Amino acid sequence: MFEFDIKAKNGLARAGIFHTPHGVLNTPVFAPVGTQATVKTVTPDQLSELGASLVLSNTYHLYLRPGDKLIAKMGGLHAFMQWHHPILTDSGGYQVFSLANTRKIDADGVIFKSHIDGSTHRFTPEKSIQIQENLGADIIMAFDECADPNNSEYIQLAMQRTHDWAERSLKAHTREDQALFGIVQGGVDLEMRVGSADFISSLPFLGIAIGGLSVGETKKDMHRVLEIINSHLPENKPRYLMGVGTPEDLINGISRGIDIFDCVLPTRLARHHSAFSKQGRLNMMNATFASDPLPIDDGCHCYTCQTFTRAYIRHLVVAKEMLAGTLLSIHNLHALVELVKEIREMILAGIFEENVPMLLDRWGNNANREKQ
């Protein structure tokens, strides 16, 4: 049911096919994030039209609201959100990191304090898997602890806890129509990362996720981690780099053997008036676009760029119209979805590795600065 077939390799990059109950994923693949069972400002039909094939939803947030049991009664996430392609859910492990100020952790699990009403909720590996089985995604994650990569003293404890929870997650997993991935942790300590990769790879997971990156470490450290663990990961299982999603990150991740990505960045930037482009990140609030007749990115085939001008997009932004967020989200998501599709074709043709410098030159200015 969850076969992963590698069709071509070019350097460390892989082009594959991952079979799931709700369709085939052509990898590498980028997954838009629908935290609350919706990708912000974009409908499921629009997601399909822009080329998305995988969506991520958040276990912790959906457990709190509307509740995993309610979603199960409604037929599971696919029926609930009317997305009939593959879905991936995280385990709540990232919230162990992001909500560190309001949670308590021990060897058994984590007590979270709800941001909605202040109530407390205990997550364990068994609880996380139960919630994810109720949600019914195609790909689910073992419960883990994402730790601050700069806290070297704590990383060892968090990694060991992640390993213990990985084994418990496997034992709790009952649904054969869900692929359970284990998560590699270890911060930016290369020895710990190798040890974690070896341990997680030794367990019968159907895929391997790399967590605890893009949480404050340098890009150089991220790349070093991906490079050193590559040979310690099983060749025949998909590899998922969690929470990473600038164009530059996708190029660098794929060139280091990653198959699956997700990130909130495209839609978050859209809600803050920013657009990916081959000229660098654009701030559509800038007055220079007030009478600009060009599309956001010349040559882009998304609905936004094929239909509207920069002048119109800026007008919507200045007028605070909701359509601005929708059109910019469509564009930003399409840019990443099409980028990984282009890279896949290059891998299949055996020319990706030689074109990495060109791709980085084209997209590298979208990481953290905007052009007018």
Report the C-alpha gap between 262 and 89 in whole angstroms.
Answer: 11
CA-nearest of 206, 215, 192 to 238 is 206
Helix axes 152-172, 190-201, angle to 10 degrees: 10
Report the C-alpha gap between 340 and 332 in whole angstroms.
Answer: 13
HSE-up of residue 223 (Cα within 13 Å, Cβ side): 9
The per-residue pLDDT for 283 is: 98
Q: Can you tell me which residue has the tokens 């990059």?
A: 13
The per-residue pLDDT for 371 is: 47
For residues 270-296, b (16+ Cβ closer than 10 Å) or e, as one string?
beebbbbbeebbbbbbbeebeebeebb
List phi, psi (to 5°) of 241.
Answer: -95, 115
The per-residue pLDDT for 372 is: 40
The per-residue pLDDT for 99 is: 87
The CATH number of domain 29-263 is 3.20.20.105: yes
Q: What is the CA radius of gyration of the chain?
A: 20
Which residues touch 23 (CB under 8 Å, ≥6 apart)? 53, 84, 85, 86
Report the C-alpha gap between 170 and 186 in whole angstroms.
Answer: 20
Q: Is the CA virtual torsion 207, 212, 218, 221 positive or negative?
A: negative
CA-nearest of 8, 28, 78, 26 to 359 is 28
Q: Can you tell me which residue has the tokens 């893009």?
A: 214
The per-residue pLDDT for 28 is: 98
CA-nearest of 139, 323, 116 to 238 is 139
Domain chopping of the chain, boundaries: 29-263, 270-371
Residues belonging to the active site = 90, 262
Report the C-alpha gap between 63 and 78 in whole angstroms.
Answer: 16
344 close to 26: Cβ distance less than 8 angstroms: yes
pLDDT mean values, one per 10 residues, the chain (372 residues): 97 98 98 98 98 98 98 98 98 87 94 95 98 98 92 92 98 98 97 98 98 94 98 98 96 98 98 96 98 97 98 98 98 98 98 98 78 44
CA-nearest of 260, 230, 302 to 49 is 302
